[in-house]
Amino acid sequence: MKKILAVLMAVLMLAVCLPAGAADRSETRDVDPVGRSLADMNAPYITAGGAPSTTQFINADTFAAHTLTVINAWDSQCGPCRAEMPYFQQLYDQYGDDGEVLIVGSCDTMIGGTMLSDYNYLVANHYTYPNVIPDSVLHNLVWLNGFLPQTFIVNSEGTVIDFIAGGTDYQGLTTKIGRWLGYYSDNYYDVTFVNGVTNEVIEVQSVHAGYTPTYPTPPEVPGYAFSYWSPATPPVVLGPTTIVANYNIRSFRVRFYDSITGTKLNTQYVQYQGSATAPEAPEHEGYTFVGWDKDFSCIVENTDVYTVYTSGTGTPGDADGNGVVNSADALLIMRYAMGNHDLISDANLLLCDADGNGVVNSADALLLMRISMGL
């Protein structure tokens, strides 16, 4: 007998509790709660032990004090009900008791729960939004369709203006609430789209309260690839809003080659505008390594870099070709870097690339000066 009762109870729970997100108005009874009035409702808050409050009620005065009141009917024995309760707590944390929207739970006992089990479940899970014991007005509204969970959106006059049959989620709730707030408001808010790399404003849209913006095409940013918008989906606009375009920095391939043998010495992947690290250049008899054929200190594209050699025994850093590297060479290179390009012969120019990055500039002069000073 106990097994039969257990099976009957399981069947009843499946029949009463619609799976979250699977509700379809065509599956409900042919009774629409939209347009029905809760103005005569006077449902007491649930208190310790599941007892009704004698001082706090949800009633016509409550409705009048808020643009919208959202009432969610649930039972502690209903799995889909429990699954969606965190969303109602999240909304309550957002709006509080004195905001435009009030979140209310209705503790129903359709499928085996009790007021005590409902109260204990609220306490155990730290739910702080107000919950009521349904009076006859609210009870009759819930039983129009007779299943759990279900959610009613009520206007300031106590009239049901929207209805969610079955389970819901945070996005679904905020969309409905936002659009009804927009319906009761003539406000438009600026939605600002910002480039997450440059912090520049991409676009500003004026959006009616309760509606969603249209995401623009993200601009191209050199060295970066668009990744995602934050938030990822268009939010319901309830005030001035900022939406950020996020990008990932690109990496580029840098390959180093021995120009004498054609051998690849090294492959690196460097982030946009980053610097590659040169490998050790091979030695070849009869040649002197003098540097690399291009700058690799600021990589902005895939780059191949080759060794540069001079035949004979030229001395790296010997700008004046006298066979000695000293401060005079450093000064000559500095003057070259300042535009006096006739001071250094083409034959000696590659020898002047003291740091081996493929460019002769003031950095080479500074390096040679430090070498000549023994630093």
Q: Please write the tens of the pLDDT for every residue from 294-321.
A: 899 999 999 999 988 876 555 667 767 6
Quote the mean pLDDT of the chain: 84
- The CATH number of residue 200's host domain is 2.60.40.4270
Angle between helices 79-95 and 170-183 (to 10 degrees): 50
Amino acid identity of 295? D
- Asked if 232 and 263 sit in the same domain, the reply is no
Pairing status of strand 188-195 against strand 201-208:
antiparallel
- Structural domain includes residue 2: no
Residues 68 and 107 in one domain: yes
Answer with the one of 228, 249, 270 that is the final residue of a domain: 249
Query: In this model, does residue 8 exceed pLDDT 70?
Result: no
- Assess if residue 259 is contained within a domain: yes
Q: Which position has the higher pLDDT, 210 or 87?
A: 87
Do both 204 and 173 map to the same domain? Answer: no
113 pLDDT above the threshold of 90 = no
User: Tokens 């000066």 map to which residue?
Assistant: 369
| pLDDT at site 246 | 98
> 26 exposed, middle or buried (CB, 10 Å; 0-12, 13-18, 19+)?
exposed
What is the C-alpha separation between 311 and 288, in angstroms, rounded?
6
Same domain for 231 and 260?
no
Examine the domain organization and report whether 37 and 164 are in the same domain: yes
Residue 4: inside a domain, yes or no? no
Same domain, 66 and 172: yes
For the chain, the C-alpha Rg in angstroms (whole number) is: 37
Are residues 223 and 126 part of one domain? no
Mean pLDDT of 197-221: 93
Whether residue 245 sits in one domain with residue 255 = no
pLDDT at 358: 65
In whole angstroms, give the CA distance from residue 361 to residue 134: 83
Same domain, 234 and 331: no
Per-residue confidence (pLDDT) for residue 30, from 0 to 100: 53
Q: Taking the CB of residue 17, how many other CB atoms lie within 10 A of it? A: 24
pLDDT tens, residue by residue, 13-33: 443 444 333 333 334 455 788
Quote the number of domains for the chain.
3
- Token pair recorded at residue 100: 């435009």
Please check whether residues 132 and 22 belong to one and the same domain: yes
CA distances from 34 to 37, 123, 172, 251 (A): 9, 32, 18, 57
Q: Kindly state whether residue 3 falls inside one of the protein's structural domains.
A: no
Q: Provide the pLDDT for residue 82.
A: 96
* Other C-beta atoms lying within 10 Å of the C-beta of residue 326: 17
Amino acid of residue 361: N
Residues 195 and 221 sit within 8 Å (Cβ to Cβ): yes
Confidence tier at 375 by pLDDT (50, 70, 90): low
User: Last residue of a domain, which of 168, 183, 198?
Assistant: 183
Say how far apart CA 312 and CA 217 lie, in whole Å.
Answer: 58
Q: pLDDT by residue (tens digit) across 335-357?
A: 888 877 676 666 566 667 766 66
Percent of the chain, pLDDT > 70?
A: 83
Query: Between these two residues, 11 and 225, which has the higher pLDDT value?
Result: 225
Any domain includes 8: no
Q: Which domain holds residue 327?
A: 251-372
In Å, what is the CA distance from 213 to each residue of 220, 229, 245? 21, 12, 14
Sign of the CA dihedral 280, 282, 286, 289?
negative
More confident residue, 208 or 204: 204
Ramachandran angles phi, psi of 362, nearest 5°: -65, -25
